Structure 1
Amino acid sequence: MTPLIPLTRDLVLIGGGHAHALLLRRWGMDPLPGVRVTLIDPGPLTAYSGMLPGLVAGHYDLPETQIDLVRLARFAGARLVLGRAEEIDLAAREVVVAGRRIGFDAASIDVGVTSAMPQLEGFEEHGVPAKPLGRLARDWTAYRDGAGPARVAVIGGGVAGAELAMAAAHGLRHREAKVTVIDRERLLSETSEEARRLVRDRMAGLGVEAVEGTDVARVEAGRVVLADGREVASDFTIGAAGAKPQGWLAETGLAHEDGFVTVGPTLETSAPGIFAVGDCAHMAHDPRPKAGVYAVRQAPVLFDNLRAALSGGRLRDYRPQKDYLKLVSLGGKAAMAEKWGRTYANPLLWQWKDRIDRKFMRKLSDLPEMKAPKLPDPVAEGVIEALGDKPMCGGCGAKVGRGALREALAGLPPVTRDDVVPLPGDDAAVIRTGGARQVISTDHLRAMVEDPALMTRIAAIHALGDVWAMAARPQAATVSLILPRMSAEMQRRTMAEIMAAAREVMDEAGAAILGGHSSLGSELTVGFTVTGLCDAEPVTLAGAQPGAALILTKPIGSGTIMAAEMARAAPGPVVAEAWEAMVQPQGRASGILAGAQAMTDVTGFGLAGHLAGICEASACGAELRVADVPLMQGALELAEAGTRSTLFADNLAGAGAVIAGSGGARHDLMFDPQTAGGLLAAVAADQAEALLARLRAAGYPAAIVGRMTEGGGLRLV
């Protein structure tokens, strides 16, 4: 048997820039055993700069220009932390993200630059920076597709500003557009006279007005006010006035040049083991302009040097080219090329640029399928069938099926203690001590995300669901952890992240963490034993009456989305939104629904399975209106494409005699296992609308999804 290689080193990539994206692709194809990779970025997508002018001009749709960091991280086996890095503690060798501290042995910075102008009055409220690219890419799409006359101002008349101005004029030609580019000096001052003349002629042909030799005084709603008192009409103002470093980099203690992190020939900074690439880096030994071509060509050297830094190898030098081919979009499907001081204009140049850009994006989206390790030959009968045709899901998708679980529990002897109240069908029990009613439950999850802190939040919310479902107040918790085999230092780092996340969730819920147990194993598993106190009789599965309305507090679909994410088939924003839904606490919802007739949390058995449990315990039936059940973004599309959790078949069989409607993907999602799902409550029909309004006012995307009925069984309509 091949020994499990322990994790011994942490590599942290700060920022999802082009060099890091390429590095992740290569790491997925050739990882360094023993290294845990972490990518930190504010969002699940990052925009590709080369296609931004084409997006503004309308040549590309937004998804074509976005690099999906969730898929890349999954391919590389990396954990993705969605957040903005705000500090690097060089002494502790930790990156700080929203107060969270992430340790590293080697790190790399690729956060790009910004063209935000905080010093310019009104820009933060009324302007959109060209860099970072994400906001402009998102906001422009909605603006371009609007109606009525369009007025756009671009602050900054360099090549980037001119490109955006021409692209805006072309993209808004259906809206009687007026585009103005403003520069404090002369437009395109960094280019040759020949290139400047060609671009100015193109701008004039597109109706772009140039305002030169004046500063901008302030930006207001609907206009830009110039220093000389003139006003430029603008309801979409773009800041493209040069590249400025991210402000926090100068505070790291790393050597820098005006805020740009200084690197040597190996791309290493002044701190050993910390590298920087892309526009945020300054190559002091061989300065170069800020251009994406350098980031792309730095990626292979960075890959080699990070591996060397983590394995005791020798670093190699990056040798930048002296000049590079500048391809400038001219609004429509036309482009200009400049290199070595010579300028070329040809209709075929845009097609060439388009092919280069699309090839780059395909490289980061059409990721190769890596071969799974071969099984020994021979293997015992049944091994192939037990493995199935896809990896086992995590979270509740890895739970034991309802049928097997019920059969095992049926063999337990009856409880005879007077102070213990078993609740058939419920995941929790009630203990009576000195007149107090205490709820107790336990749950643990096989990790479905690589980030232990995020997984801990999900597992804690999930475990507390049993307490909240009984309308109890969380009281105490103990933690049960299995960590992947790793070095003592990495155990310390990982435990610190896990316990910080657990404390935050439990503190917010009002529960105290009393301790717990941990061990090492083959993969991360996080669990909690939780208790809660009931001020009144607990709400259970029993007690629902015919005619009661059914309220669901969260959308469903997490099992399908997480199964798709494991297969790199789920779009990054869909996955990120599912994570947000799973970590939404249900404490306030529990308080609002405390008077429910019956209540459960929707987890591993799926919505239909848990509703069937209420039907069974309450000795009545239910009608579930499938069309009214809220779904997580993207869940239906993934289900229609055939994605199912590995627990789906067990849930379908374990829900009992379900009378199905027309079937289809939406129907199948009723059996999708949920992790940290919402509460499902049966409430008096005359109170349902008022309760729903209170839940929505508290921030829950709740819905009335059906009703309890006479007789038995569950009907999907």
Structure 2
Amino acid sequence: MHRSDIPLTQDLVMIGGGHAHALVLRKWGMNPLPGARLTVINPGPTAPYTGMLPGHIAGHYSRETLEIDLVRLCRFAGARLILSHATQIDREQRLIHVDGRPPVAYDVASFDIGITATMDIPGFATFGVGAKPLDVYARRWRDFLSAVEQGDTAPEVAVIGGGVAGCELSLAMAHALRAKNIQPRVTLLHSGPSLSGLGNLARQRIEAKLRRADIDIYTGVRVTKVAADHVALHDGKKIPSRLTVGAAGAVPHSWLSQTDLPLSDGFIETTPDLSIRDDPSVFAVGDCAAMPFAPRPKAGVFAVRAAPVLFHNLRAALTNGPRKPFKPQKGYLKLISLGEKSALAEKFGLALSGPMLWRWKDRIDRAFMKKLDDLPRPRPAALPDLVATGAREVLGSKPLCGGCGAKIGNTVLNDGLSLLQHPTDDTILSTPGDDAAVLRQPGGGFQVISTDHLRALIHDPAEMARIAAVHALGDIWAMGAQPQAALSSIILPHMSPALQSRTLGEITAAANDVFSRAGATIVGGHTTMGAEMTIGFTVTGTCTSSPISLSGAQAGDVLVLTQPIGSGVLMAAHMEGSARGADVAQVLAEMTQLQDRQAFHLRHAHSMTDVTGFGLAGHIAAICRASHLSAEILADAVPVYAGARALSERGVQSSLFQPNIENAPTLGRQDPLFHDPQTAGGLLAVLPPADAEAALCNMAAEGKKAWIIGRMIDGEGAVTIL
């Protein structure tokens, strides 16, 4: 039996994208556990690597260099990634509560959520920023540096906390400002009598370096208030500061105190196998964990060393196997950035510094990131030596895409449907090619009905349900109708009854949220199990006047598009592991957005459709054929998702790309993205120029985007890209 045929029976949920979890994801992708479903919950698509943060602040590394791409890692590991905050754990019901969506069930859970540096000082929450979470601080720093460069604020910085982190960040920020030919004023504030976290020799060298960098050091002080332009001390002194950074020790996430997890000073208390006391199904690792069996300072090295043990013990928890203890080393090497490309190394009380040590640190940091970035590409399953003629050609060199990329080409579709006869019942008014069938209502008005389903693009059932619901609603909106009712059609992969219940619950809750906000009701459906997850909906809608068809466009009308294109390329690249996680996250978020307001403002369109599987060119061509016109499209006016252009130029294509070109060849400038199949794509409306401008203004007033991308002209079906 192939491992993919083994039913899913256990849910492993990893909360947080810290260093240990990132390494576990890589190991999981190399050696997954059949029957286990993996979920990762993290607020963003990337997680910053702490070791390179001072170098990024100093200007030595780009933002992308220090970001761990969790989207790519999760895809490699076969895990779903939920981009949100965990807010609570219910250990009795085995649920993780998540901001903005229903709870996520677990059989085994693991925490690696790091720490914060939020300080309980008046004004800090408003005017200060903690050094952790790192991504929040890095973003504030970039904004501050830009404002200083533009002359909008003074280069005054205060750092609260004289440990290793405070020293590194003070030196990094001072160096970055000087590199811009700006004379900074950086002040380091520490409550203790001397800098902490260092041996005597290392502390002396760091203090000397701080003074040579003209950084003011205040020890034995207490900060009483943080304001927009200063920090107030207990003795009444005011330190000028336009950016105040908190780096005074590790602060646990406050929501942990509202749970029943065993805590030590707010950190999750663990046992030698990294699980929590009295609950072997919950684990914690990294800075959010306390290890009373082997107390250690908060340092990334321990999370990295714990990863192999965590990986083993998570699998053991899922299989009732034996566990290993974690034995952290007592001494460890500290490599401390010194602003410019120089570093200090300390171990066993000895300390050395210089550029050579920076190069050593740089190699270590880059090697860590390379391990998480250079992921093996998925290999297609090997074919038997002997297959029927044509099978290899149909399979091609890449896997079948999900979403609309898995559709049958339009030419084949038309051939397959050619035997259907046009309805003779005068209550059925459908026009070939329109988005939905049209039924005349006995009491007046019209009803439209359409059906659509999607092969899963991603591993998250709830997010996939949202995408499928929005996608199905697109046909109703494109006809100018008000959504009315929906029937679901769901295929689940083989899984245990418990996981069936969990999965159907997530799908139903997500889809119901979309349809209810669109004004429709889910009235029933059908479910079955199969080889992979597929979600679809049959949707009805009503309208009092004639529905909008493809055939009403007029010469001189302009074309309006409500979403960028390029989702097919991005999802194809995501499948092969070559897309940037942030770009994938953006396009997935766009796919789940309702377009009811856009449809409302475009309700007087002469013609309208939604851009889906046949690509932008294919849907424009459909309007041209039905309306007996041609179209001119301004290529530079067509919005494109971030990352899609570069991927397209590299030759990345969806599996429906070639059939789309054959269905709708274009004249003039050739752009592969015009043939890229879209999933839950934008509305494409044809209106008189004045009406289009008014619609764009009305949408903009509601925070909705839309673009005029071309015009209709006389002719017979040609699509020309200018």
TM-score, structure 2 as length reference:
0.97
* Alpha carbons 2:435, 2:478 under 8 Å: kept: no
* Alpha carbons 2:380, 2:398 under 8 Å: kept: no
Query: Secondary structure in 2 aligned to 1:376?
Result: coil
Instruction: Tell me, in whole angstroms, the C-alpha distance in 2 between the residues paired with 1:347 and 1:388.
Output: 51
Instruction: Tell me, in whole angstroms, the C-alpha distance in 1 between the residues paired with 2:418 and 2:236.
Output: 83
Is residue 167 from structure 1 mapped to residue 167 from structure 2 by the alignment?
A: no
Query: Secondary structure in 1 aligned to 2:552?
Result: coil
The residue number in structure 2 matching 1:176 is 183
Instruction: Tell me, in whole angstroms, the C-alpha distance in 1 between the residues paired with 2:710 and 2:632.
Output: 5
* Alpha carbons 1:62, 1:141 under 8 Å: kept: no
Instruction: Tell me, in whole angstroms, the C-alpha distance in 1 between the residues paired with 2:223 and 2:418.
Output: 77
Instruction: Tell me, in whole angstroms, the C-alpha distance in 1 between the residues paired with 2:339 and 2:230.
Output: 23
* Alpha carbons 1:90, 1:252 under 8 Å: kept: no
Q: Out of 132, 150, 153, which is 2:158 matched to?
A: 153
The residue number in structure 1 matching 2:583 is 574
Partner amino acid for 1:625?
L
The residue number in structure 1 matching 2:617 is 608
Instruction: Tell me, in whole angstroms, the C-alpha distance in 2 between the residues paired with 1:508 and 1:227.
Output: 53
The residue number in structure 1 matching 2:597 is 588
* Alpha carbons 2:8, 2:495 under 8 Å: kept: yes
The residue number in structure 2 matching 1:681 is 685
Q: In the TM superposition, what is the alpha-carbon distance from 1:388 to its structure 2 partner? A: 0.8
Q: Out of 347, 350, 353, which is 2:361 matched to?
A: 353
* Alpha carbons 2:696, 2:705 under 8 Å: kept: no
Q: Out of 191, 195, 202, which is 1:195 matched to?
A: 202
Instruction: Tell me, in whole angstroms, the C-alpha distance in 2 between the residues paired with 1:396 and 1:457.
Output: 15
Q: In the TM superposition, what is the alpha-carbon distance from 1:574 to its structure 2 partner? A: 0.5
The residue number in structure 2 matching 1:700 is 704
Deviations 1:160-210 (A, max 9, x none): 101110111111112111111112223423322222111100000011111
Is residue 315 from structure 1 mapped to residue 323 from structure 2 by the alignment?
A: yes
The residue number in structure 2 matching 1:135 is 136
Instruction: Tell me, in whole angstroms, the C-alpha distance in 1 between the residues paired with 2:380 and 2:673.
Output: 29
Q: In the TM superposition, what is the alpha-carbon distance from 1:341 to its structure 2 partner? A: 2.6
Query: Secondary structure in 1 aligned to 2:675?
Result: coil
Query: Secondary structure in 2 aligned to 1:19?
Result: helix
Q: In the TM superposition, what is the alpha-carbon distance from 1:639 to its structure 2 partner? A: 1.0
Q: How does 1:288-687 map to 2 (within 5 A)?
A: 288-434=296-442, 435-656=444-665, 658-661=666-669, 663=670, 667-687=671-691
* Alpha carbons 2:380, 2:399 under 8 Å: kept: no
Partner amino acid for 1:12?
V
Instruction: Tell me, in whole angstroms, the C-alpha distance in 2 between the residues paired with 1:373 and 1:186.
Output: 64
Instruction: Tell me, in whole angstroms, the C-alpha distance in 2 between the residues paired with 1:186 and 1:701.
Output: 56
Q: In the TM superposition, what is the alpha-carbon distance from 1:2 to its structure 2 partner? A: 4.0
Instruction: Tell me, in whole angstroms, the C-alpha distance in 1 between the residues paired with 2:355 and 2:649.
Output: 42
Instruction: Tell me, in whole angstroms, the C-alpha distance in 2 between the residues paired with 1:237 and 1:222.
Output: 9
Partner amino acid for 2:495?
M
Q: Out of 209, 221, 238, which is 2:216 matched to?
A: 209
Instruction: Tell me, in whole angstroms, the C-alpha distance in 1 between the residues paired with 2:698 and 2:640.
Output: 20
Q: In the TM superposition, what is the alpha-carbon distance from 1:334 to its structure 2 partner? A: 1.6
The residue number in structure 1 matching 2:111 is 109
Deviations 1:613-669 (A, max 9, x none): 11111111111111100111111111111111111111111115x3232x2xxx111
* Alpha carbons 2:630, 2:713 under 8 Å: kept: yes
Instruction: Tell me, in whole angstroms, the C-alpha distance in 1 between the residues paired with 2:166 and 2:425.
Output: 77
Query: Secondary structure in 2 aligned to 1:551?
Result: strand
The 1:187–1:144 alpha-carbon spacing in structure 2 relative to 1, beyond 3 Å, is: farther
* Alpha carbons 1:157, 1:186 under 8 Å: kept: no
* Alpha carbons 1:553, 1:695 under 8 Å: kept: no
Instruction: Tell me, in whole angstroms, the C-alpha distance in 1 between the residues paired with 2:262 and 2:97.
Output: 19
* Alpha carbons 1:122, 1:218 under 8 Å: kept: yes
The residue number in structure 2 matching 1:250 is 257
Instruction: Tell me, in whole angstroms, the C-alpha distance in 2 between the residues paired with 1:550 and 1:320.
Output: 63
The range that moved more, 245-254 or 47-56, is: 245-254
The range that moved more, 274-283 or 335-344, is: 335-344
RMSD: 1.4
The residue number in structure 1 matching 2:35 is 34
Instruction: Tell me, in whole angstroms, the C-alpha distance in 2 between the residues paired with 1:535 and 1:225.
Output: 66
Deviations 1:29-65 (A, max 9, x none): 0111111111110000110000011111111111111
Is residue 225 from structure 1 mapped to residue 232 from structure 2 by the alignment?
A: yes
The range that moved more, 705-714 or 122-131, is: 122-131
Partner amino acid for 2:163?
G
* Alpha carbons 2:13, 2:39 under 8 Å: kept: yes
The residue number in structure 1 matching 2:270 is 263
Instruction: Tell me, in whole angstroms, the C-alpha distance in 1 between the residues paired with 2:139 and 2:658.
Output: 39
Query: Secondary structure in 1 aligned to 2:383?
Result: coil
Instruction: Tell me, in whole angstroms, the C-alpha distance in 2 between the residues paired with 1:698 and 1:607.
Output: 25
Query: Secondary structure in 1 aligned to 2:599?
Result: helix
The range that moved more, 279-288 or 184-193, is: 184-193
The residue number in structure 1 matching 2:64 is 63
The range that moved more, 368-377 or 533-542, is: 368-377
* Alpha carbons 2:231, 2:238 under 8 Å: kept: yes
The residue number in structure 1 matching 2:14 is 13
Q: In the TM superposition, what is the alpha-carbon distance from 1:371 to its structure 2 partner? A: 4.2
Q: In the TM superposition, what is the alpha-carbon distance from 1:211 to its structure 2 partner? A: 1.9
Instruction: Tell me, in whole angstroms, the C-alpha distance in 1 between the residues paired with 2:514 and 2:505.
Output: 14
* Alpha carbons 1:630, 1:703 under 8 Å: kept: yes
The residue number in structure 2 matching 1:52 is 53
Q: In the TM superposition, what is the alpha-carbon distance from 1:312 to its structure 2 partner? A: 1.5
Partner amino acid for 1:100?
P
Partner amino acid for 1:205?
R
Q: How does 1:86-97 map to 2 (within 5 A)?
A: 86-97=87-98
Instruction: Tell me, in whole angstroms, the C-alpha distance in 1 between the residues paired with 2:125 and 2:262.
Output: 29
Instruction: Tell me, in whole angstroms, the C-alpha distance in 2 between the residues paired with 1:532 and 1:227.
Output: 67
The percentage of aligned residue pairs carrying the same residue is: 52
Instruction: Tell me, in whole angstroms, the C-alpha distance in 2 between the residues paired with 1:297 and 1:437.
Output: 65
Q: In the TM superposition, what is the alpha-carbon distance from 1:482 to its structure 2 partner? A: 0.3
* Alpha carbons 1:550, 1:704 under 8 Å: kept: yes
TM-score, structure 1 as length reference:
0.97
Instruction: Tell me, in whole angstroms, the C-alpha distance in 2 between the residues paired with 1:364 and 1:701.
Output: 36
Partner amino acid for 1:95?
I
Structure 2 residue ranges without an equivalent (≥5): none
Partner amino acid for 2:651?
G
Instruction: Tell me, in whole angstroms, the C-alpha distance in 1 between the residues paired with 2:565 and 2:282.
Output: 42
Instruction: Tell me, in whole angstroms, the C-alpha distance in 1 between the residues paired with 2:480 and 2:122.
Output: 51
Query: Secondary structure in 1 aligned to 2:340?
Result: coil
Query: Secondary structure in 1 aligned to 2:490?
Result: strand
Partner amino acid for 2:634?
R
The 1:187–1:514 alpha-carbon spacing in structure 2 relative to 1, beyond 3 Å, is: farther
Query: Secondary structure in 2 aligned to 1:23?
Result: helix
The 1:488–1:194 alpha-carbon spacing in structure 2 relative to 1, beyond 3 Å, is: same
